[in-house]
Amino acid sequence: MTPPRNSSAARDIAHVLHPYTDHKVHQQAGPVVISRGKGIRVWDDQGKEYIEAVAGLWCAALGFDNERLVKAAEAQMRKLPFYHAFTAKSHEPMIDLAEMLIERAPVPMSKVFFGNSGSEANDSAIKMIWYYNNALGRPRKKKIISRLKAYHGITVASGSLTGLPANHKLFDLPLPGFLHVSTPHHYHGAQPGETEEQFATRLAEELDAVIQREGPETVAAFWAEPVMGAGGVIVPPATYFEKIQAVLRKHDVLLVADEVICGFGRTGSYWGCQTMGIEPDILTCAKALSASFLPISAVMINDKVFQGIAEGSHTIGTWGHGFTYSGHPVPAAVAVETLRIYDEIGLLDHVRRVGPYMQKALRARFADHPLVGEVRGVGLIAAIELVEDKAARRNFDPARKVGLRLAKLGEEHGVILRALINDTIAFSPPLIITEAEIDAMLDRTAAALEALAVQLR
Ligand code: PLP
């Protein structure tokens, strides 16, 4: 249906180039224009209400309204609406936030650098590692290993870390020097009869073999989301990170934890690193750092990395890296208030209560469904994967776009779902969600799934 002339939808079609969109389809189908939000819900410009099952993009941890964050932004805008952090200029919101992050870090960390997005955080961390190894006189130690199906962003370098085909095809990525090892997904990756522990051992051996093949003197870092998000909500097999970290230590390879989704309670611990037993050298975070009310990201580095960077910067006379908006005072003030709110409302305890409820409810409702191959997740992040053949664990032909069809049907039933690779439907609701709201979210999802089953018959 063609939207009325001069409607928001028509003007969108005429002017906006959307991220992650088939532009030709969009010219016909048009956008869903979201015009307001409250709690875990948003409303479109036609007045239709939706439960946001993915908190936007795994991010609106406090939902879609919060008076304290509005006030924090307003107060900071009145006091100092902009200042930068170049050449040792500073301001209180940035200092407060850096201190709060260091206090909350899962392992001892030394310094915090700020960016505006998860991609910028990971991109900055890549540059820090290259700089660090050059400063240490190890110019060959530069290669970076991540995993197939990882998502670390879309800039030229962070997009090279990402291990998803859509982020590489036609973009001439990944860059040379970025390697990808296997996805730690037991459901698809394990051999018949292989336990989680055996699978984890095999993946650690694979990593070891790749590092040996490349030469440990050329491998700088390994990158990992504690729980992979955009790649399909993949919870690694038992003992995976323990075994991976032993390999990294053996070869003096840095470990970077990408906590852009997992950070700030999503997995039931403050950091995904704590849930998974990860001790990173560098940690990147964003999204829930400011409850996504304003863009801000952070890179925390340990003292070893800081000393290397400090050495290099002293030789050259400056560390030639930083964004105009690094540590921008308004998002920094909002992030400070966000972290205070998390503590004051006991958000972590809340997630520890409702997370297991959501996991159990998802399994009770969907695990036996003929279209659902696997239900997985931890805390308030989960997924159901749709399959054509449950016994053979075989996905549908991607051309049938079954996951996208379920997401579309979800919208008709009042729930915004996110379809990922392999027809996987993600759940990552605002962390404030209640048990009753989880029930409502899953009722709507179940209705959409039944509608899909009818379509597929
Ligand atoms: N890292 C992870 C784990 C993410 O999920 C994302 C975005 O979803 C990013 C990095 C990139 O963040 P941004 O989209 O803010 O650049």
Residue 178 has pLDDT above 90, yes or no: yes
Residue to mutate (ligand 1; options 287, 325, 420; most atoms within 8 A of CB): 287
- CB within 8 Å of 18: residues ≥ 6 apart: 26, 31
Mean pLDDT of 224-234: 98
The edge-to-edge listing of strands for the beta sheet with 34-38 is 34-38, 41-44, 49-52, 415-416
Nearest residue to 403 (alpha-carbon basis) of 432, 457, 445: 445
Is the CB of residue 258 below 6 angstroms from any atom belonging to ligand 1? yes
DSSP letter assigned to residue 234:
B
Residue 55 has pLDDT above 80, yes or no: yes
pLDDT digits (tens, 9 = 90+) for 196-218: 999 999 999 999 999 999 999 99
Is the CB of residue 119 below 6 angstroms from any atom belonging to ligand 1? yes
Atom 12, ligand 1: residue with shortest CA distance:
118
pLDDT digits (tens, 9 = 90+) for 68-123: 999 999 999 999 999 999 999 999 999 999 999 999 999 999 999 999 999 999 99
pLDDT digits (tens, 9 = 90+) for 342-354: 999 999 999 999 9
- What are the backbone angles phi and psi of residue 115, rounded to the nearest 5°? -130, -165
DSSP letter for each residue of 2-26: PPPTTSHHHHHHHH---TT--HHHH
Amino acid at 166: A
Q: Please give the torsion angle defined by the CA atoms of residues 138, 117, 354 and 408, in that order, rounded to the nearest 10 degrees.
A: -120
Residue to mutate (ligand 1; options 124, 260, 284, 290; most atoms within 8 A of CB): 260
The CA 18 to ligand 1 mean position distance, Å, reads 16
Tokens 């390879």 sit on residue = 253
> Strand ranges (DSSP E) for 40-136?
41-44, 49-52, 111-115
The pLDDT of residue 1:
65
pLDDT confidence tier of residue 127, bands split at 50, 70 and 90: very high
Question: Does residue 347 contact residue 432 with C-beta atoms inside 8 Å?
Answer: yes
Enter the pTM of the model: 0.98
Residue 4 has pLDDT above 90, yes or no: no
Give the three-class secondary structure for 53. coil
Residue 2 has pLDDT above 80, yes or no: no
Mean pLDDT of 2-16: 91
pLDDT digits (tens, 9 = 90+) for 277-336: 999 999 999 999 999 999 999 999 999 999 999 999 999 999 999 999 999 999 999 999
Is the CB of residue 163 below 6 angstroms from any atom belonging to ligand 1? no
Residue 445 has pLDDT above 70, yes or no: yes
d(CA 28, CA 247): 51
The percent of residues in the chain predicted with pLDDT above 90, rounded, is 99
Residues forming a β-bridge with 114: 298
Mean pLDDT of 362-389: 98
DSSP letter assigned to residue 155:
S
Give the three-class secondary structure for 61. coil
Give the rounded distance of the alpha carbon of 1 from its chain centre: 34
202 half-sphere exposure, CB direction, 13 A CA radius: 16
DSSP letter assigned to residue 114:
E
Tokens 């037993």 sit on residue = 277
d(CA 226, CA 236): 8
The pLDDT of residue 57:
98
